[in-house]
Amino acid sequence: MRGWWKVGGFLALASAPGQARAGDAALADVLAGQLTAAMATWTVEGEVPHYVAVAVEDHDSLHVYARQGAIASSDDDAGRTLDVDLRLGTAALDSTHNLRGFSAFDDDTRDVVEVAYTGPGQTDALQHAVWRELDARWRDARERIVLLRANQQVRVAEEDPAPDFEPRTGAIADVATPPLTIDAEGWEEVLRAASAILDDSDVVVSSSASLDASRTVRTFVDTEGARLVTGRRHARVSLQAAVVADDGDRVSAFRAFDVEDPAALPDRPAVLDAARALVAQVEALRRAPRAGPYTGPVLLSGKASGVFFHEVLGHRVEGHRNKDETEGKTFKDYVGRPVLPSFLSVVDDPTVRQVGGVDLNGTYAYDDEGVAAQPAQLVDHGVFTGFLMGRSPLAAFPHSNGHGRRSTGNAPAARMGNTLVHADRTVDDARLRAMLLDELRRQHLAFGYIVDEIEGGFTMTGRVTPNAFNVRASRTWRVYVDGRPDELVRGIDLVGTPLAAFQSIVAAGSTVSVFNGVCGAESGWVPVSAVAPALLFRRLEMQLKEKGSERPPLLSKPGRDGTVDAAEVAP
């Protein structure tokens, strides 16, 4: 197995390839040497980039996937990737600028660059990869800057006249990334058992249990003198199960445990209990009725409200969007104005590692543009105060707050990390439910909804499409004013537009929850967290979720009591 060594059933990375490759200062020297040589060549050519950054990521990972009581795959992997960010022109106008009217040139043309690893101290493959990518990025930038300079002459003035880049003094840091040690054989046994429990139900049509663990070390150098070695560990155990209801609706549920250190993953009994609870949930959802479109009071659990803020606020405050004239720029003119109730504040802080003992996915030390992570205040006691910023300035916000992020193969952009919603005034869960019922009575409605689990969401921020969001509900309860028991329902999602939705928040609960996941946008998929209290809304809208049309399986599962014996079938 490449990149791993085994100790009594444990897979360990004590002096792993990622650490040995990226933790050595010599690697930064190699990258810097290539960068210096390239800059000298470009000086002769007469078109010198005003900024170049080179980043190498070394990763080691383990993936174990089980279904139906068996291990379907158990693979480890080690690899190295390369990213080059190159800007021709000046900080005021460079080759990354939006090219208006040329849709073929709107997107960055780069892709994931994989680099062969040949052994400690052997850098020929890396040097050749850096040489090729620097040359390719320079050629693309030179073509684009010619188009951009002409484009500026024939287009009207842009809405935001800010420069394209914020120069900084390069940061120097070496942040150690601890080794990753995993009992792979032990986890295979746990996942076998968990997958068997998930599949044991007569009505579950697909299910899985998996472990994903990784360690990534990143070496970053640039023309400003930055020398950074940073990294990340992450481990996730996830469970999934799906059923098909009699009306053809395919319903699924998901559980995940995210930690920074695999030693903090839940033990075997906790994983098996989670599998049993997941089966009970999908069986109940299969029996539950589909709900219909609705508008009225809704209570969101902390996880649901965290994703709500991620979708409704988070993507709209990514600073680079305010420089794109196809974007809706929802909050551009709201700086200094109320957008939320005065008891709510929102900050995105990648430096926070845990909340309530739960590790946060969106934690990092330096962003992908070489800037130290720092808190970004977005809303202060209801008043909108600013944006998530990378090194692409806005006229009113000229400085990065350490939120330039990307997955390898993409250009960095302002992105969320750990989005934290704080409430100064809260009520307990019982009072929050009572307030929901009071609001239903005030609006003369027979029932409302509590959403206590979600599976994610998405949002649209442009001008052509509706500037709307969709938060994907996975467990929703109908709450009756007349005192009937709460009724589990399925088939509806939360939808709406941001400004109207925010104005509808009535109260916050005292229980705070964490949602860990990954978020996809223009700069790729990045790990994120959302932390929020439960929230009561005076009015939210729900729409029908997409629905399948296949009938449930006609044949019983093998080995079930309902299996038909061939001898019993009439000729």
pLDDT tens string 154-193 = 778 777 789 999 999 999 999 999 999 999 999 999 999 9
Say whether both 178 and 232 belong to one domain: yes
For residue 553, tell me if it sits in a domain.
Answer: no
> Which one is predicted more confidently, 56 or 555?
56
The last residue of one of the domains, among 284, 304, 325, is: 284
Q: Is 322 left (phi over 0), alpha (psi -120 to 50) or beta?
A: alpha
Say whether both 337 and 253 belong to one domain: no
For residue 566, tell me if it sits in a domain.
Answer: no
Single-letter amino acid code for the residue at 86: L
Residue whose structure tokens are 């223009």: 522
Q: How many domains does the chain have?
A: 2
Say whether both 184 and 327 belong to one domain: no
**Residues 206, 244: Cα–Cα separation, whole Å:** 10
Give the number of other Cβ atoms within 10 Å of residue 2's Cβ. 10
Domain that residue 203 falls in: 5-284
Task: Reply yes or no on whether the pLDDT at 8 is more than 60.
Answer: no
Which are the contacts of 333, defined by CB distance < 8 A and separation ≥ 6? Answer: none
| pLDDT number for residue 558 | 82
Residue whose structure tokens are 């995940």: 256
Which are the contacts of 87, defined by CB distance < 8 A and separation ≥ 6? Answer: 49, 50, 51, 52, 94, 95, 96, 141, 164, 165
Residue whose structure tokens are 């080179």: 54
Say whether both 433 and 535 belong to one domain: yes
> Which one is predicted more confidently, 375 or 104?
375
For residue 567, tell me if it sits in a domain.
Answer: no
Q: Return the CA Rg of the chain.
A: 26
**Residues 87, 145: Cα–Cα separation, whole Å:** 9
The last residue of one of the domains, among 262, 284, 306, is: 284
For residue 113, tell me if it sits in a domain.
Answer: yes
Say whether both 323 and 465 belong to one domain: yes
**Residues 115, 130: Cα–Cα separation, whole Å:** 9
For residue 502, tell me if it sits in a domain.
Answer: yes
Angle subtended by helix axes 124-154 and 25-45, to nearest 10 = 40
Indicate the burial class of 470 (C-beta count within 10 angstroms; 0-12, 13-18, 19 or more). middle
Two tokens, residue 160 = 């935001």
Separation of CA 456 from chain center: 10
For residue 373, tell me if it sits in a domain.
Answer: yes
pTM greater than 0.85: yes
CB 248 within 8 A of CB 549: yes
**Residues 435, 427: Cα–Cα separation, whole Å:** 10
Task: Reply yes or no on whether the pLDDT at 14 is more than 70.
Answer: no
Say whether both 266 and 349 belong to one domain: no
CA quadruple 427, 430, 433, 439: dihedral positive or negative? negative
Give phi and psi for 288, each to the nearest 5: -70, 150
**Residues 326, 330: Cα–Cα separation, whole Å:** 12
Say whether both 63 and 86 belong to one domain: yes
DSSP 557: P
| pLDDT number for residue 457 | 86
- Collapse the DSSP code of 328 into the 3-class scheme (helix H, G, I; strand E, B; otherwise coil) and give the result: coil
**Residues 516, 254: Cα–Cα separation, whole Å:** 13
344-363: average pLDDT:
97
Task: Reply yes or no on whether the pLDDT at 119 is more than 80.
Answer: no
**Alpha helix positions (H), 395-463:** 429-442
For residue 9, tell me if it sits in a domain.
Answer: yes
Say whether both 278 and 298 belong to one domain: no
Say whether both 229 and 146 belong to one domain: yes
Q: Is 241 left (phi over 0), alpha (psi -120 to 50) or beta?
A: beta
Check which CATH number belongs to the domain holding 192 and give it: 3.30.2290.10
Two tokens, residue 199 = 């599949």
- Collapse the DSSP code of 88 into the 3-class scheme (helix H, G, I; strand E, B; otherwise coil) and give the result: coil
Give the number of other Cβ atoms within 10 Å of residue 88's Cβ. 25
Task: Reply yes or no on whether the pLDDT at 365 is more than 60.
Answer: yes
Indicate the burial class of 444 (C-beta count within 10 angstroms; 0-12, 13-18, 19 or more). exposed
Structure confidence at residue 291 as a pLDDT band (50, 70, 90)? very high
Indicate the burial class of 553 (C-beta count within 10 angstroms; 0-12, 13-18, 19 or more). exposed
> Which one is predicted more confidently, 453 or 343?
343
**Residues 314, 336: Cα–Cα separation, whole Å:** 17
For residue 268, tell me if it sits in a domain.
Answer: yes
> Which one is predicted more confidently, 157 or 39?
39
Say whether both 278 and 311 belong to one domain: no
Structure confidence at residue 560 as a pLDDT band (50, 70, 90)? low
Single-letter amino acid code for the residue at 121: G
Closest CA to 110 of 411, 370, 405, 524: 411
Say whether both 498 and 349 belong to one domain: yes
Single-letter amino acid code for the residue at 163: P
pLDDT digits (tens, 9 = 90+) for 259-290: 999 999 999 999 999 999 999 999 999 999 99
Say whether both 206 and 158 belong to one domain: yes
pLDDT digits (tens, 9 = 90+) for 99-116: 876 554 556 668 899 999
**Residues 384, 336: Cα–Cα separation, whole Å:** 6
The last residue of one of the domains, among 236, 265, 284, is: 284
Single-letter amino acid code for the residue at 40: A
pLDDT digits (tens, 9 = 90+) for 240-261: 999 999 999 999 999 999 999 9
